[in-house]
Amino acid sequence: MSTTTILYGIPNCDTVKKARAWLTEQGIAYSFHDFKKQGVPADHLPRWLQAVGWEKLVNRQGTTWRKLDAAVQAAVQDDASATRLVLDNASVIKRPVVEWADGRTTVGFKAEDWAAALGR
């Protein structure tokens, strides 16, 4: 486990941009992991799935999901099938995924939720 907060996402994603700006404004040091350049860290997926569940990790409202073949969508029913999907297609992951310095993992960004979780 890292002692640094790590934000995973795609740099041009609006939600990721907002999350990064919020962290900077709060003075929270973090590192950024770019799914497009660095890929999805397969060894972290089990921890993410345990923390938030595949239903939350896989963004089934997004454009990438909607473009998938219906059979591919229907096949995603558990951690194993979700893992295969996100390793093949990082853009289907709900962003950002954050591994906080205290060991928690969260998905998505809502400033009020982050502030509450961090006692701000």
Kindly report the pTM of this predicted structure. Answer: 0.92
Distance between alpha carbon 53 and the CA centroid of its chain, in Å?
11
Alpha-carbon dihedral angle through residues 64, 66, 69, 74, given to the nearest 10 degrees: 110
User: Does residue 13 have an active-site annotation?
Assistant: yes
For residue 35, give its domain range: 5-117
How far is Cα 36 from Cα 57, in angstroms, rounded to an integer? 17
Measured from the Cβ of residue 29, the count of other Cβ atoms closer than 10 Å reads 9
How far is Cα 98 from Cα 107, in angstroms, rounded to an integer? 6
Bridge-based pairing of strands 105-107 and 30-34 is unpaired
- For the chain, list residues with pLDDT below 70: 1-2
The residue annotated as part of the active site, out of 6, 8, 9, 13, is: 13
Q: Domain containing 48 — which CATH number?
A: 3.40.30.10
Domain total for the chain?
Answer: 1
Q: What is the pLDDT of residue 118?
A: 83
Q: What is the pLDDT of residue 2?
A: 57
**DSSP symbol at 90:** G
Single out the residue of 16, 103, 2 nearest to residue 62, CA to CA: 16
